[in-house]
Structure 1
């Protein structure tokens, strides 16, 4: 395996080869992941810099903003480079009070897919994650069946899942081919994964093990958001050794932890974007990884 690249849906007829370092757009929105960015010009500049730097995997959702990141992506990058994978998520929505709610009924998912297609100016979405959000009353299996039905219709090329437990991941794989998993994971968030927008916890390492066994890329979200506030002196030691920031070492650790991990650090600062990008060049030794284990 080329450790600088990762293959998504490698067993399918339409595999996707992407650089093993992507970009998550959530931070491009306004405060509270709502509304327009504080610096719209910088947001567009970051998206364009993704392409010029070689990044060809961008993560988004129509409930970021609302629909702010999708509109920014289309404005900055359409018509899209041939190798660019714009990955979106469905399963959630926002209320006027900015709270997060499940939006996971089959008709809800279809509405979200049509919305993403329209805003992103696409006829087919390359990769879509079904995001599990606490409080939904629709069985997980029913939502997944709706996702695979839209795949059969050609609206979705590849189906992924997000915020899933090991049992849910196994259930999804029994229904159809799962291309990717997007779960909370990071150096300080490995043994349990908090269910986003809810209090339930789910096994992070167990999900990674299933992904590795089935050659499914794991896309960690909140890897810095969770890891940075939880000060770990070991990270500080390795950062000093490599002349790097602690954020960079957290990202480098992900890249070295498993060849099936595809980090997507997000930021609204071009300066921080460039700093995150340099993390891909840091070579951690076996001793470094054992020290950070």
Structure 2
């Protein structure tokens, strides 16, 4: 099981990171809005993650709003030379905490400038274009704007998020796609809907990602989505003296060398559990039992 993964491996500026990242979505307050319930712990989580080898952080300026970007900067700036901070654009938040598209070329430029400012960077290493709005703004217009900002040097690599197989295939025709971020976990291997709307799953794009050498970065890999599967993962967890959440992470790492898990948490104790999951070695029998 490889311990690292390379993003944009077909470019002249690839990014190699350790194969367990950290997603910051759980750091803000309830509904991914407002300041953390425990700000010192949130800052310590970010520092502890990096101190323990995590060098891939996933964020977005619409987490909070701007809460996770500001926390990252406060905790880690000046950034370690090997740290990759990945952000997302294509959405924004309303005061009622709803999630709405923000994906015209002008919107996307505004978001990139905001991320650069709040993170204190001159260039963002990796940006995922999150697709929302059911095609109200054509993919070629959205991705075209991203590729233009890449040519300007504001973005190093462009990825896609929340994409169907057809959208990924279309994106690959338009430019180099460095990574894909879709909902995916042991209990979420098909297209599902959740509080933020319809989300394509990771399973439908994984083979395409593998074929093109594109890391698949799973988000929101909650185990309780399909409770009937918990008995199975629970049995494997007992064999390894681990938690089902840890086995979920280990399953992602063993499923494909092109998967880069980014489990998030607002608890320092849970962060340490997640980090320990990277050391769990699942056997072929374990993987077969998990199905």
Tell me the TM-score range normalised by the shorter chain: over 0.9
Contact 1:189 1:226 in 2 (8 A): no
Q: Is the contact made by 1:70 and 1:116 (CA closer than 8 Å) also made in structure 2?
A: yes
Distance 1:171 1:196 in 2: 27
Normalising to structure 1: TM-score of the pair? 0.96
Kindly indicate whether the alpha-carbon contact (under 8 Å) linking 1:184 and 1:194 is maintained by their aligned counterparts in 2: no
The Cα shift of 1:223 comes to 1.1
Deviation of the 1:192 alpha carbon: 2.0
CA deviations over 1:7-29 (Å, ceiling 9, x no partner):
00011000111000000001000
TM-score, structure 2 as length reference: 0.96
Deviation string, structure 1 residues 148-190 (Cα, Å, up to 9, x no partner): 0100000000000000000110111111100000000111111
Q: Give how far 1:96 is off.
A: 1.1
1:134 positional shift: 3.5
- Cα distance in 1, alignment partners of residues 195 and 151 from structure 2: 29
**Partner residue, 2:168:** 169
Secondary structure in 2 aligned to 1:157? strand
Q: 1:279 aligns with which of 265, 277, 280?
A: 277
Q: What's the offset of the Cα at 1:51?
A: 1.2
The alignment partner of 1:138 has SS state of: coil
Query: Does 1:221 pair with 2:249?
Result: no
Contact (CA 8 Å) 1:133, 1:196: kept in 2 or not?
no
Instruction: Write out the 4+ residue segments of structure 1 that deviate beyond 6 Å after TM superposition.
Output: none
Structure 1 match to 2:97 = 98
Distance 1:138 1:195, change over 3 A: farther
Q: Which aligned pairs between 1:67-106 and structure 2 lie closer than 5 A? A: 67-106=66-105
1:76 Cα offset (Å): 0.4
2:254 to 256, 264, 275: 256
Structure 2: gaps (5+ residues): none
1:241 maps to: 239
User: In structure 1, what is the Cα distance between the partners aligned to 2:135 and 2:37?
Assistant: 32
Q: 1:39-78 counterparts in 2 under 5 A? A: 39-78=38-77
- Residues 216 and 260, structure 1, Cα contact 8 Å, conserved in 2: yes
Whole-Å Cα distance in 1 between the matches of residues 80 and 93 of structure 2?
Answer: 30
* Distance in 2 between residues matched to 1:195 and 1:165, nearest whole Å: 16
SS in 1 for 2:159: strand
How far apart, in 1, do the equivalents of 2:226 and 2:41 lie?
24
Q: Gapped runs of 5+ residues in structure 1?
A: none
In the TM superposition, residue 231 of structure 1 has moved relative to its aligned partner by 4.7
CA offset at residue 204 of structure 1?
3.0
Contact 1:186/1:223 (8 A) holds in 2: yes
Count of residue correspondences = 291
User: CA 1:216/1:64 → structure 2, altered by over 3 Å: closer, same or farther?
Assistant: same
Offset of residue 198 of structure 1: 2.3
CA distance in 2 between counterparts of 1:230 and 1:105 reads 41
